[in-house]
Amino acid sequence: MQKKILGSFFLLLFLSVAFLLYKLLTQSSEVKIEQAKYETPMPQSKKEEPNEKAWIKELAHQESREFFFPVNELFMQIDIQWPNIDKKKSFRLVIDRADRYSLFCILQTLSSLHLSYVVIKENKVPIIYVEEKSSKQLENVVLELEKYDIKSKIIEVWL
């Protein structure tokens, strides 16, 4: 009995696949082929350029390039001498690691202590300069950073 059911199942499967292939192969498909015609472009009329753009043409046709490209860095030093302002020294904050979390903690600590600082990135390592009157006042920064497990020290530098 099972052989008859299995045989009829395979026969039915074979007939349905054969019918499907017959329908697919006897289908007619119409394809329209259209060819594009190539036309030469029409000559454009010359427009006179205003005098504002004339200098660009002159600069483009010059042989020598006597100009400089803009740069990414700008160094500016302003020496203002005020008679009543205490002289502040520059110190470098040397840290043991330079990942994002430790840099975030350092910057937040310096901001919370109201210290002026500059962060310079050289070779993927940030260099932090802090300006203060004495290094004793910067010992608070070292103590605060030890709370975040960041080992640091202060070195006086001449900028």
All residue ranges of the chain with pLDDT < 50 are none
Is 89 exposed, middle or buried (CB count within 10 Å of its CB: 0-12, 13-18, 19+)? middle
Specify the pLDDT at position 18.
Answer: 93
d(CA 9, CA 15): 10
The single-letter DSSP state of residue 125 is: E
Q: 56-65: per-residue pLDDT in tens?
A: 777 677 776 5
Q: For residues 132 and 118, is the Cβ–Cβ distance under 8 A?
A: no
Domain boundaries, the chain: 89-157
The first and second tokens of residue 70, run together, are 């803009």
Q: 89-157 maps to which CATH number?
A: 3.30.70.120
Specify whether the backbone of 114 is left (phi greater than 0), alpha (psi in -120 to 50) or beta.
left
Residue reference for tokens 């329209």 = 32
This prediction's pTM: 0.45
